[in-house]
A and B are shown apart, each in its own frame.
Chain A
Amino acid sequence: MLQVFPDVKGRFGDFGGKYVPETLMGPLQELEDALDQAMEDQAFHDEYHHVLEEYAGRPTALTYADKISDYLGGAKIYLKREDLNHTGAHKLNNAIGQALLAKRMGKEKIIAETGAGQHGVASATVAAKFGLKCKVFMGEEDIRRQELNVFRMKLLGAEVVSVSSGNGTLKDATNEAIRYWVANCEDHFYLIGSVVGPHPYPRMVRDFQRVIGDESKKQFLEVEQELPNRIYACVGGGSNAMGMFYPFLEDDAELIGVEAAGRGIDTPEHAATLTKGAPGVIHGSLTYLMQDDNGQITEPYSISAGLDYPGIGPEHAHLFQTKRVRYESITDKEALDALRLLTEREGIIPAIETAHALAQAFKEAGSMSKDETILINLSGRGDKDMATLMEHFEEEV
Chain B
Amino acid sequence: MLTKTSFQGKLEKTEDLFIPFLVAGDPTPSMTIAFALRLQQQGADVLELGVPYSDPLADGPTIQLAARRALDAGMSLRKAIELVPQLRKHGLTIPVVIFTYYNPVLRLGHDQFFELLEENGVEGVLIPDLPFEESEEIRGQAESKDIEFISLVAPNSEQRIKQIAENAKGFLYCVSTLGVTGGENKMTGESLAFIKKVKEYSPVPVAVGFGVSTNEDVKIVREHADGVIIGSKIIRLIENELDKINSGEKSGALKSFSNSIAELVK
A209 at the interface (CB under 8 A from B): no
Q: Which of B139-147, B148-156, B247-255 contacts A (4 or more CB under 8 A)?
A: B148-156
State A286–B105 Cα separation when bound (angstroms): 13
B57 at the interface (CB under 8 A from A): yes
Size category of the A interface is 35 or more
Q: Which of A17, A26, A178, A289 has the most CB of B within 10 A?
A: A26
Q: Which of B6-14, B172-180, B238-246 contacts A (4 or more CB under 8 A)?
A: B172-180
Tell whether A19 pairs with B152 under 8 Å between CB atoms, given A179-B180, A297-B54. no
Number of A-B contacts (CB under 8 A): 111
Sample of 30 A–B contacts (CB below 8 Å): A9-B133, A17-B134, A18-B133, A19-B131, A20-B57, A20-B131, A21-B152, A22-B128, A22-B157, A22-B164, A23-B58, A23-B179, A26-B154, A27-B156, A166-B54, A179-B57, A179-B180, A182-B178, A183-B179, A183-B180, A186-B178, A280-B103, A281-B103, A282-B55, A282-B103, A284-B57, A286-B106, A296-B76, A296-B103, A298-B54
Within 8 A of A (CB), among B46-98: 53-55, 57-58, 60-61, 64, 71, 76-78
- Chain A residues with Cβ below 8 Å from B58 are 21, 23, 182
State A296–B74 Cα separation when bound (angstroms): 12
Residues B106 and A25 in contact, CB atoms below 8 Å apart: no
Residues B129 and A281 in contact, CB atoms below 8 Å apart: yes
Residue in B130, B157, B175 whose CB lies within 8 Å of A19: B130
Interface set of A (CB-CB < 8 Å, partner B): 9, 17-23, 25-27, 165-166, 171, 175, 178-179, 182-186, 278-284, 286, 289, 291, 293-298
B102 (CB) vs chain A CBs: closest residue: A281
State A23–B161 Cα separation when bound (angstroms): 12
- Chain A residues with Cβ below 8 Å from B107 are 278, 280, 291, 293-295
Residues B156 and A23 in contact, CB atoms below 8 Å apart: yes
B179 (CB) vs chain A CBs: closest residue: A183
- Chain B residues with Cβ below 8 Å from A297 are 54-55, 103
Q: Which of A9, A280, A289 has the most CB of B within 10 A?
A: A280
- Chain A residues with Cβ below 8 Å from B61 are 165
